[in-house]
Homo-oligomer: A and B are copies of this chain.
Amino acid sequence: MRVASIYEPVREDLEQVERTLDAIRQAEQFSELRKMLEHVLGGGGKRLRPLMALLAGKFGDYRPEPLVFLAASIELLHTASLVHDDVIDRSSTRRGRPTANALFDNQAAVMLGDFMFAHAADLVARTDNTEVVRLFSRTLMAMVSGELSQDLSAYDYGQDIVSYFERIGGKTASLFAASSEGGAMLAGAPREWVKALYDYGHNLGMAFQIVDDILDFSGDEKEMGKPIGSDLMQGTLTLPSLLLMERSPESNPIKELFRDRRCSKHLAEAVFMVQNSDILEESYAVARDFAQRACAALEPLPDIPARHALGDIADYVLERRA
C-alpha cells in the first residue's frame, strides 16, 4: 500500500481543509498566537481524521463546503485536546518536537487549546446540521471523560483491560468514529451506512490507540520523539502493561514503579519484561482484530474508491512505526 493513495479521492478538499486552518492562523492579530498555532498545526500530522470525514462524505451527496468545515473542526478539536493533554500529563515532547507547554508555558498552552476549541465549535456550527453539532459535543464529552479517567486513575494499580478499552474508546476512538460518522451524516447517507461508518471509525480508533501504546514500548525513540515507556512513567496502564500484570500478578515491577514513581530501575525492568515476551505480539493481534472489524464494517458500503481508501487507512494504522 502506498500511503499517498489513501488521500487520492479527496486530495483537493483536503487541501481546502489546510487552507481553512491556515486562514484561522493568519487572521489572528497576535503574532505570539500565530506562532503557537503554526507550531501545533504544522507538525506534519497525517490529517487522518479530516481524511476520514471527507472520504465518508463520498457515501452520499458529497458537498465540499460543510464537509471541509467538519474536517477542519475535527482537526482543531484533535489538536486542542493534544495541547491540553500535554499540559495535564506534563509532557514535554510529542513526535520529537517540544510540546506547546514546554516551548511556551502552561498558561499559553491553556489559552492556545481554548482558542482552538472555540474555532472548532464555530466550524462545526457552520455545517448548519444540528445532528452533527450534537455529535461534536458528545464526542468532546467522551474525549474529556477518557482523558479524565486516564489522569484520575494514574498510578492506580487496580485497573483492568475492560476499563482500558473504555478509556481509549473515549480518549481516541470517539473522535475517529465521529469523523467517519459525521462525514456520512453531512452527506445524508442512509442510516445503515452511517452506522457502518461509525463502526469503522470506532474500531479503527481502537486499533490506532493500541498501536500507539505498543510503540511506547517497542518504537524507535528518535522516530517516536519521546522516551520508551513514557506511559508507564506517567502512571498510565496500557494494553502491554496490563497484559504483563495479568501474567505476573505477584512479581512484576509495575507495582514497585507506581509506589516509587521516580525509580527508573523498575521502569527499565518492566520495559524489558514486555519486550522479551510475546506481549507485544499479543497486543498487535488485538489491534489487528479491531482493524479487521473496522474493515468488515465497510462491507455494506458500495465499492467506490473512497471505500478502498478507508480500507487502506486500516492497513496504514497497523503498519505505522511512529
The distance in angstroms between the C-alpha atoms of A125 and B141, with both chains bound, is: 12
- CB contacts (< 8 Å) of A118 on chain B: these are 137, 140-141, 143-144
Tell yes or no: A292 within 8 A of B by CB.
Answer: no
Tell yes or no: A32 within 8 A of B by CB.
Answer: yes
The distance in angstroms between the C-alpha atoms of A32 and B144, with both chains bound, is: 15
Q: Smallest CB-CB separation from A121: which chain B residue?
A: B137
- 9-residue interface stretch from A107-115, A193-201, A221-229, A313-321: A107-115
**A152 and B32: CB pair below 8 A?**
yes
Tell yes or no: A88 within 8 A of B by CB.
Answer: yes
Please give the number of chain A residues whose Cβ is less than 8 angstroms from any Cβ of chain B in the complex: 43
Q: Indicate which residue in B30, B133, B136, B147 contacts A148 across the interface (CB closer than 8 Å).
A: B30
Q: Indicate which residue in B32, B87, B128, B152 contacts A33 across the interface (CB closer than 8 Å).
A: B152
For the complex formed by this chain, how many copies does it contain in all? 2
**B121 and A151: CB pair below 8 A?**
no
Q: Smallest CB-CB separation from A32: which chain B residue?
A: B152
Q: Smallest CB-CB separation from A115: which chain B residue?
A: B144
Contact code string A114-128 (vs B, CB < 8 Å = 1, else 0): 110111011011101
Which residues, 163 to 221 on A, are CB-close (under 8 Å) to B? none
Tell yes or no: A159 within 8 A of B by CB.
Answer: no
**A130 and B141: CB pair below 8 A?**
no
Contact code string A69-107 (vs B, CB < 8 Å = 1, else 0): 000000000000100100111100000000000000011
The distance in angstroms between the C-alpha atoms of A152 and B112, with both chains bound, is: 12
- CB contacts (< 8 Å) of A81 on chain B: these are 114
Using A117-B117, A122-B141, A141-B118 as known contacts, say yes or no to A151 and B111 having CB atoms under 8 A apart. Answer: yes
Q: Smallest CB-CB separation from A73: which chain B residue?
A: B137
A108 to chain B, nearest CB (A): 8
Tell yes or no: A63 within 8 A of B by CB.
Answer: no
Tell yes or no: A19 within 8 A of B by CB.
Answer: no
Q: Smallest CB-CB separation from A135: which chain B residue?
A: B125
Q: Indicate which residue in B87, B114, B126 contacts A107 across the interface (CB closer than 8 Å).
A: B87
Tell yes or no: A11 within 8 A of B by CB.
Answer: no
Tell yes or no: A138 within 8 A of B by CB.
Answer: yes
Tell yes or no: A275 within 8 A of B by CB.
Answer: no
**B151 and A107: CB pair below 8 A?**
yes
**A30 and B114: CB pair below 8 A?**
no
**B152 and A30: CB pair below 8 A?**
yes
A229 to chain B, nearest CB (A): 21
- CB contacts (< 8 Å) of A136 on chain B: these are 121, 125
A148 to chain B, nearest CB (A): 6
- CB contacts (< 8 Å) of A125 on chain B: these are 130, 133-134, 136-137
A138 to chain B, nearest CB (A): 6
A118 to chain B, nearest CB (A): 4
Q: Smallest CB-CB separation from A29: which chain B residue?
A: B149
**B107 and A148: CB pair below 8 A?**
no
Q: List 9 A-B contacts (CB under 8 A).
A: A81-B114, A84-B114, A88-B107, A118-B140, A118-B143, A119-B141, A124-B137, A125-B136, A130-B130
